[in-house]
Structure 1
Amino acid sequence: MAASLELINRINGAHTIQLSLRDDQWLEMERAAAFKADVMGERMYKLDGFLANPLYRVFNVDFQHGGRFYGAAYQNCPEGYRRYLTIDGKPTVEVDYCWMHPTMLYAELGIQLAFDPYVASCGSRPLIKKTFNALLNAGSSNIDQLPEFSSVEAGMTWHQFVGGVKQHFGPLAVFLGSGCGLRLQRKDSDIADMVMSSFATRGIPILPIHDSFVVQAAHEFDLRKSMSEAFLAKTGHHCRLRSAKGALAPPLDSMVA
């Protein structure tokens, strides 16, 4: 574990990782990042022009829970800005796992997930997803109401909405309110370690953003292959992937917070 992390940091540290932004675009991005941190209740890390900070793993309670990779400034870039990351001045591509934790849980039940699990009639997709994740991390189904929820808009109480979410997820209801989120993070962080190690052993830099990875665009095929193989090896099932192409020097009005 420590050896692979040291190798990943050594390889990434030997390359120049930057954002292709002007000074005014940097300010715009940092305002967007600060707004997101405030809304999400997250810690805001200082972003700067050079983004090759060393990674470290954070475990929770014990080594069977958590284990995700943190520490790099690029992880705090708002999603709409990550496409302007460059590695050694070259454009990048970001590939992420779709529905990673639901796919893992269905896999534990021997089921291959083949549809978007966050689309339901009881609420918007972002709200369904956030409620699902809150239930995964909670020790019971009695979770605090999310600020995005409106009983007027939903036409139901928060308690009724949570019940609808649990009903929507059907077979996965047994996992909701069980506190299994950190156990799944250990599994997804091990998958991340497998993916990154497959690149680092070949001297290729790769940047983790929890359930996605950024590499030079020329390595997209290899990245998708490594991600598919790692997930299959860890779970015995497949997980859908999605790519976001990179770009250079965007105009300021094209930024998406």
Structure 2
Amino acid sequence: MSLFEYKAYSTHPEIIRQAEVLVEEMLSLRQRKPNKNDKTQYLKWMKVAIAGLYLIGGYQKDSVQIPVSRNLYYGKTRRNKLYQPELLKCFMWLRDAGYMQETKPAHQDKNGNWTPAAYALTRKWLDVACQFSPYHERRDQILKSVVRNPSLPVIELRKDGKRMRTNPHKEKWLWEKRIKAYNERLTYFDFRLNRELIPPVTFSITRIFNDGSYDRGGRYYSTAQGFKSQLRLHLTINNEPVVEVDYRGLHPSLLYQRAGLEEPTEDAYTIDGYPRKLVKKAFNILINRKKPAPATKSLIFYLNKNKKEYVDDKHPIPPTIDTAYCEALEKAIRDRHKPIEHFFCTGVGLELQNHDSLLCSHIFDYFLAKTGSIVLAVHDSFIVKQSDIQHLAEAFRYAEFAVAKSLGIPYREPLLEAERITEIDSYKQDLNQYFGSIIDSKVTEEKSLIANLNTELESLDDIESLADEDADYANELP
């Protein structure tokens, strides 16, 4: 199950009417009647609650985690602008009035981290909802109306996992204009998984900078970035299959470009004796770490956290990744990338994230200005309708030229990889015609999607967690 979608908001007439009915019922039980402004605030945040809860009945069809700790909604400990006291009161009333019920209590995991309680919609909720959206078509219409909450900032500045006040910047207005235009463009398209409608809010983006600097980080984050790669390839946009095109070894490539060196033709993360995914993770730790080498302790800590992800049939790893293993791995990576070894353990990773965010920005700009279509992004990976292959190829080259010019570095021809499950008739021809030799194509075996997509979203984190993970690996850990 996933966290309640705080970004959700809708001005659909049925949601407005349902919010009015529920707010009237909630306030009628109070001895002290609220003033007009208070009632307006309750109505606003009840619409947020309803829009988010509709996602449970829409594409999740199960429970959702809702944090109800007062500390998250009040004072200095408030998590963000969407964690408002009025929203918490709406949640608590909906629970107490029987519109939603707790399916799993809040609990601590083995590491001592708290997991919020899970809630599901009740029969009482569905009986009321049916008064406003009785038909399946109407339900899809309402889900499609669930967009990004306008109260949520589109730019965030973070340091050590905490939000900071955003400082002035000469291009900040342009960043905000781009993101708002992109989030609005999303509402023109029909996104589906296994024929199940996915509302636009799922793909709405926030740009998050790190280390309190607009020169570090700056990647774009959306809830959909928690989708597994296999799940993303099942997406359809306006009933058309998609292709996902991503850079091959982007950060190593950017480091060679920065050093003025020609990039090796071999895959940057392929090293004999080690799983590729593990090498990629270790490489990211080395470029994000700010303390001097060796990075043994950081490698031990982070590689052991999710070691099951790195296992493959050809390269077994020990049950516990220990000091000797990490020392040998770090040496192998350094030997493999001797020309750019001096970048390791300097914290350059967040600078490279800023670089790839610039590429992403220009790809967004191309689609917004030159096409009537949409591109979905997961940092250095881009998803489009297969009929938009030409646009994507042109967007890649435009972005590379624009960013190279702005940074004063040589232009590089990107090495790319395309992945899809099904294809339209012109797919192969378009891929060869518009990308040529810079792209490799592979077919992913189609796996049946389970009817309940919520199971596929169990590991889905909120965007704050995703951003913090990207900014990790910087400190020496015990």
TM-score, normalised with respect to structure 2: 0.44
Aligned AA for 1:226?
A
Go from structure 1 to structure 2 and tell me whether the alpha carbon gap of 1:86 and 1:161 turns closer, same or farther (over 3 Å shift).
same
Go from structure 1 to structure 2 and tell me whether the alpha carbon gap of 1:49 and 1:11 turns closer, same or farther (over 3 Å shift).
closer
SS across alignment from 2:214: strand
In structure 1, the residue matched to 2:178 is 4
SS across alignment from 1:102: helix
In structure 2, the residue matched to 1:63 is 214
Q: Equivalent of 2:417, from 223, 239, 242?
A: 242
Distance 1:221 1:69 in 2: 23
Distance 2:355 2:320 in 1: 38
In structure 2, the residue matched to 1:211 is 380
Q: Equivalent of 2:191, from 17, 23, 46?
A: 17
Go from structure 1 to structure 2 and tell me whether the alpha carbon gap of 1:130 and 1:250 turns closer, same or farther (over 3 Å shift).
closer
Structure 1 contact 86–92 (Cα < 8 Å) conserved: yes
Task: Give the gaps of 5 or more residues in structure 2.
Answer: 1-174, 308-316, 405-410, 424-445, 451-455, 457-478
Structure 1 contact 58–68 (Cα < 8 Å) conserved: yes
Superposed CA deviations along residues 14-58 of structure 1, whole A, max 9, x for unmatched, are: 212221257xxxxxxxxxxxxxxxxxxxxxxxxx83254321100
Distance 1:153 1:66 in 2: 29
In structure 1, the residue matched to 2:127 is none
Superposed CA deviations along residues 152-181 of structure 1, whole A, max 9, x for unmatched, are: 999953223212221211111111111111
RMSD: 2.7
Structure 2 contact 207–220 (Cα < 8 Å) conserved: yes
In structure 2, the residue matched to 1:144 is 299
In structure 1, the residue matched to 2:67 is none
Superposed CA deviations along residues 79-123 of structure 1, whole A, max 9, x for unmatched, are: 111111111222111111111101100001112323211111252
Distance 1:151 1:161 in 2: 16
In structure 1, the residue matched to 2:84 is none
Q: Does 1:50 align with 2:199?
A: yes
In structure 1, the residue matched to 2:333 is 165
SS across alignment from 1:157: helix
Structure 1 contact 112–238 (Cα < 8 Å) conserved: no
Q: How does 1:95-134 map to 2 (within 5 A)?
A: 95-113=245-263, 114-134=265-285
SS across alignment from 1:242: strand
Structure 2 contact 209–217 (Cα < 8 Å) conserved: yes
SS across alignment from 2:395: helix
- How much does 1:232 deviate? 4.0
In structure 2, the residue matched to 1:251 is 448
Structure 1 runs (4+) greater than 6 angstroms displaced: 151-155
Percentage of pairs with the same residue = 25
SS across alignment from 1:63: coil
Distance 2:199 2:259 in 1: 44
Q: Does 1:83 align with 2:233?
A: yes
Distance 1:208 1:252 in 2: 22
- How much does 1:245 deviate? 1.9
Moved more, 226-235 or 147-156: 147-156
Distance 1:238 1:106 in 2: 13
Go from structure 1 to structure 2 and tell me whether the alpha carbon gap of 1:122 and 1:155 turns closer, same or farther (over 3 Å shift).
farther
Moved more, 100-109 or 13-22: 13-22
Distance 2:190 2:228 in 1: 20
Structure 2 contact 194–449 (Cα < 8 Å) conserved: no
Go from structure 1 to structure 2 and tell me whether the alpha carbon gap of 1:65 and 1:247 turns closer, same or farther (over 3 Å shift).
same
Structure 2 contact 286–345 (Cα < 8 Å) conserved: yes
Superposed CA deviations along residues 139-160 of structure 1, whole A, max 9, x for unmatched, are: 1332231223538999953223
Query: Which one has more relative contact order, counting CA pairs under 8 Å at least 6 apart?
Result: 1
Go from structure 1 to structure 2 and tell me whether the alpha carbon gap of 1:93 and 1:171 turns closer, same or farther (over 3 Å shift).
same
Q: Equivalent of 1:197, from 365, 377, 383?
A: 365
Task: Give the gaps of 5 or more residues in structure 1.
Answer: 23-47
SS across alignment from 1:182: helix
Superposed CA deviations along residues 175-223 of structure 1, whole A, max 9, x for unmatched, are: 1111111111111001001011101122211111111111111011221
SS across alignment from 2:299: coil
- Paired residues in the alignment total 229
Distance 2:262 2:360 in 1: 21
Distance 2:321 2:283 in 1: 19
SS across alignment from 1:208: strand
Structure 1 contact 65–185 (Cα < 8 Å) conserved: yes
